[in-house]
Amino acid sequence: MAPRLGILVLPGGTDFSYKPFSPWQDSALRMYPFTWSLRARFRGQVDVEQVRYRVYGWNGGQASPMWHAKAALERMAKRNPGIPIVVIGHSMGGRVAAQLASDRRVIGVLGLAPWWQFADWREIHGGARVLALHGTADNVTLAKRTAKGIDELRARGVDARYVEIPGGKHPMLDHVGTWQGSAIDFVGGLLRDLR
């Protein structure tokens, strides 16, 4: 059976760094459970790829991870012609996800404590479904900014929802069932809509 949905899982990073990205760094490791659980839960229905960037940082106007994320989007589309794509990003990966969602092939955006401090949500096209989760104890990225982004998307008519995680911290090592369950539920809902 051919997959009905492509999923790109986008790890976090940092503001400025040219340190080579490693599949063993914390930001990559914390996303593997999302990648593996989505493959297991929706076996045969999804094609899931966890994206690797060249360097660890965003690096200002260079937007370093975007080159690799866009290449991953094109690979996914080439492997599965015509397939709709979902982007799931944590922290800097949430910023990458929002910018990828200017592409109409992206039908869903899941932002996990996204780094949307630069109004990146404005890149998301109006036809995408958006879910953003943010912990109230996050001291790395701003929950209030994520909530503002979702409010703005909703005002534009986008199907967007915000979930606050009381006491949730940035690394997503708490409330694991909520973080992980959000991805399963989000993808499951999109798959049901494709029937």
For residue 111, the cross-strand partners are 89, 132
How many Å separate Cα 18 from the centre of its chain?
22
What was the pLDDT predicted at 1? 67
How many angstroms separate the CA atoms of 144 and 134, rounded?
9
How many CB atoms sit inside 10 A of residue 99's CB? 21
Residue 74 has pLDDT above 70, yes or no: yes
Looking at CATH, the fold of the domain delimited by 5-194 is given as: Rossmann fold (3.40.50)
195 has pLDDT over 90: no
Give the pLDDT of residue 14.
Answer: 94
- Band of the pLDDT at 117, cuts 50, 70, 90? confident
Predicted TM-score (pTM) of the model is 0.97
Query: Average pLDDT, stretch 167-174?
Result: 96
Q: Assess whether pLDDT exceeds 90 at residue 3.
A: no
User: Is residue 95 within 8 Å of 66, Cβ to Cβ?
Assistant: no
pLDDT tens figures, 118-170: 899 999 999 999 999 999 999 999 999 999 999 999 999 999 999 999 999 99
pLDDT at residue 174 is higher than 70: yes
Report helix, strand or coil for 97. Answer: helix
Q: In percent, how much of the chain has pLDDT > 90?
A: 95
End-to-end CA, the chain? 14
The pLDDT, as a whole number, for residue 99 is 97
| 1-10, 30-39, 138-147, 160-169: the lowest-pLDDT one | 1-10
